[in-house]
Structure 1
Amino acid sequence: MEQEYETIDLREILFLIKNNLLAIVASTVICALLGFIVTTFLITPKYEASATMIVNSRQEQTANLTNDMITTAKNLVATYSIIVKSDTVLDEVIDQLGLELSYEQLEKKVTVSAVDSTQVMKIAVQDENPAQAKAITEAITQIAPPIIQDKVEAGSVKVISEARAGERPVSPNKKMNTAIAGLLGLVLSVGVVFLREMLNNTFKTDDDIQKYLGFTVLGVIPHVEMEG
């Protein structure tokens, strides 16, 4: 026994969207507006401060740069990242600045990444207070070098660019959140329209009777409104 599947052709899809266009547009705009309001008024903005440091190995500075050295440098930055974000460094930062933060809370604010696959690493700190983000970054650049030199036995650790905090928040992203909320509203509204259509088993036109029941329509009784 063959199972029959109900299908909706492109014309029916366009017809559904056209008939419900106002509701779809309204839902999209409302969701986008809600996303903007939540992002603007309910999410606390965060600022980022960053600094860059370079760690030189004990190899001769005149040695030619090879692919192996580049690979080693990239791997070393991963090691430096672990050290910078370790409790050895961050607990000292907390004590030095008198922060009311646990090690776990501060560790989540700090990110360390390689710059262009070199031994230059970028230390970034995000915080609700730009001044505090800058202070934490500065403290890390002061405390981390001697620890890195001791643990990795690096030749030197130097700060390339001092800590600097951005004037504008890095999160949340108002444009992206608004766009995502609007897109979500669009998808949900279109989904509701199609779901309602799929659950509607009434016959709306004589074509529906012929399509679903296979009967030929011989005549249609018109609906006439009588004036009282």
Structure 2
Amino acid sequence: LEEVVQGMGLDLTYEQMKGKVSVTTPTDTRILAITVKDSDPVMAMKMANAIREAASVHIMNVMDIQAVNVAETANMPMKKASPSVLKNTFIGGVLGVFLIIAVVLVRYLMDDTIKTPEDVEKYLQLSTLAVIPLNEGEADGKKKKKKVKRS
């Protein structure tokens, strides 16, 4: 990886390059599958091909063989590997629902206002002398504005 970074003149450290590259070997084969993830698909393809070339030379030296067969060169990705818009939207929606539930629950639990005559008797140990009834146009102590029809 260091050879590829220096050869391509990339402004990356070994750890950053290592985070972009994954190498796998399919079961019961001697094939290496090199995958590179980068924001620029052309750069990802170039890095994968450069790693393939550097690995081929290294394998020939270590294994003392004449040539390494290349099954295929890196291809240009046609679709984004990440981020997944559908998955992120779903996760955001679920987190939003939990956040709303938490806010409503905290507001309900922290609400210590007196709303009914029973609350006065329960919290203040006082009996109520009178209750002022709401007018027909009022709800929960808040006056609603009536719409005026103009003709």
TM-score higher than 0.5 here? yes
Q: Residues 26-45 of structure 1: matches in 2 within 5 Å?
A: none
Give the TM-score normalised by the residue count of structure 2: 0.68
For 2:34 and 2:116, locate their aligned partners in 1 and report how far apart those are by CA, in whole Å.
67
Q: Residues 1-228 of structure 1: matches in 2 within 5 Å?
A: 90-116=1-27, 118-151=29-62, 153=63, 157-204=68-115, 221=131, 223-225=133-135
Q: CA deviation at 1:106?
A: 1.7
For 1:148 and 1:116, locate their aligned partners in 2 and report how far apart those are by CA, in whole Å.
19
Alpha carbons of structure 1 residues 222 and 154: separation in structure 2 relative to 1, 3 Å = farther
For 2:73 and 2:19, locate their aligned partners in 1 and report how far apart those are by CA, in whole Å.
21
Alignment: residue pair count: 134
DSSP 3-state at the match of 1:190: helix
| Greater RCO, CA 8 A, separation 6+ | 1
Q: CA deviation at 1:195?
A: 1.1
For 2:111 and 2:64, locate their aligned partners in 1 and report how far apart those are by CA, in whole Å.
72
Percent of aligned pairs sharing the same letter: 31
For 2:119 and 2:28, locate their aligned partners in 1 and report how far apart those are by CA, in whole Å.
65
Give 1:127's aligned amino acid.
D
Unaligned runs of 5+ residues in structure 2 are 138-151
For 2:77 and 2:15, locate their aligned partners in 1 and report how far apart those are by CA, in whole Å.
24
Give 2:89's aligned amino acid.
T
Alpha carbons of structure 1 residues 223 and 146: separation in structure 2 relative to 1, 3 Å = same
Contact 2:34-2:48 at 8 Å conserved across structures: yes
For 1:165 and 1:208, locate their aligned partners in 2 and report how far apart those are by CA, in whole Å.
70
DSSP 3-state at the match of 2:19: helix
Q: Larger radius of gyration, structure 1 or 2?
A: 2
**Misfit runs of 4+, over 6 Å:** 206-210
Give 2:91's aligned amino acid.
I
For 1:166 and 1:97, locate their aligned partners in 2 and report how far apart those are by CA, in whole Å.
20
Give 2:10's aligned amino acid.
L
Give 2:74's aligned amino acid.
A
DSSP 3-state at the match of 2:98: helix
For 2:103 and 2:46, locate their aligned partners in 1 and report how far apart those are by CA, in whole Å.
51
Unaligned runs of 5+ residues in structure 1 are 1-89
Give 1:162's aligned amino acid.
T
Give the corresponding residue for 1:27: none
